[in-house]
Structure 1
Amino acid sequence: MMFLGLTYISHSKRKLTEDMRMQLMRECQVRNAHNDVSGLLLYQEGYFLQYIEGQPDMIRMVFQRIMQDTRHENVELISEEVLMQRRFPLWTMFFRDYDFVYPHIRQDYAELTSLAKVIEALENEPNLQKTMFDFLKNTHDQDS
């Protein structure tokens, strides 16, 4: 069986509260479970980075819906690749809100473990790994 993995970045058209971001994450998890899609969604200061994987036709359909979603803009496709197996088979949508989580990462063993899983899953994909790290360090590294 073949899968398609797709990564994109977008920007929210309006400021999202923490509650709004959590609601969005829950919607993604339910929809992805229904569509047999797995992946991860990162949020930081109005920007989203999402990686989704699943059956190629479903991933293309989901991405079309994402591109038409009026809640965000500047949707930029970063990568699209054929996979022989999923990278994140157990995550209907791993979500991290780095506006909320980032200051606590060093003290949070579970967060470090989750990030280690992401890094391990992307071990053979240095470009995708770099994209995610670049996304996360865009603004916060300037604060430390």
Structure 2
Amino acid sequence: MNTLDQLVYCSRSRLAPDDERAAVLDIVHVAAFLNARNGITGALTLQDGVFVQLLEGSPSALDILMLHLHFDERHEDIEIVARGRIERRAFPAWGMTAPTPGPCGVLSRLIVERSDDLTAWREAMDALLAEPA
């Protein structure tokens, strides 16, 4: 049986505001290739200077990815805010996707609260993905 975990982390962006959009697109482009190879799917966004990434995959693949993320100089203060076992992927078609950054009150609240509610994070990311670009 394949075990799947889902996790959400937040980290503080070290990017200049003018560089954020291009950097997110670059991250998604590279992550789509690497994550597909490692069975990881998810979504990434940048909100109020904070990266929020929801990842799903095997526990060991997620652990290894989190170790690698600590060496990425585009962000700092990485904090896993929610993690748990899931039955199926929320983002099965995405090696990685990036919802269009824009103000999202629910996501901003989750970031401030550092909520450990995976469902709330997943719903916020789904809502961002559903918004027209």
The TM-score, its normalising length taken from structure 2, stands at: 0.70
Match of 2:54 among 51, 56, 62: 51
If you compute each CA radius of gyration, which structure gives the higher value, 1 or 2? Answer: 1
Percent identity among equivalent residues? 25
The TM-score, its normalising length taken from structure 1, stands at: 0.66
**Structure 1 or 2: more helix by fraction:** 1
Match of 1:63 among 66, 71, 79: 66
Q: Distance in 2 between matches of 1:19 and 1:94?
A: 14
Q: Distance in 2 between matches of 1:56 and 1:66?
A: 15
Match of 2:77 among 74, 77, 80: 74
CA RMSD of aligned residues (A): 2.4
Paired positions, count: 110
Q: Distance in 1 between matches of 2:121 and 2:86?
A: 18
**Consecutive unaligned residues in structure 2, runs of 5 or more:** 104-115, 128-133
- In structure 2, the partner of 1:9 is 10
Amino acid at match of 2:46: Y
- After superposition, residues 88-107 of structure 1 pair within 5 angstroms as 88-99=91-102
Conserved? CA contact 2:11–2:50, under 8 Å = yes
**Consecutive unaligned residues in structure 1, runs of 5 or more:** 103-125, 137-144
Structure 1 moving runs of 4+ over 3 Å: 129-133
Q: Deviations over 1:44-67 (max 9, x none)?
A: 242110011111111110011112
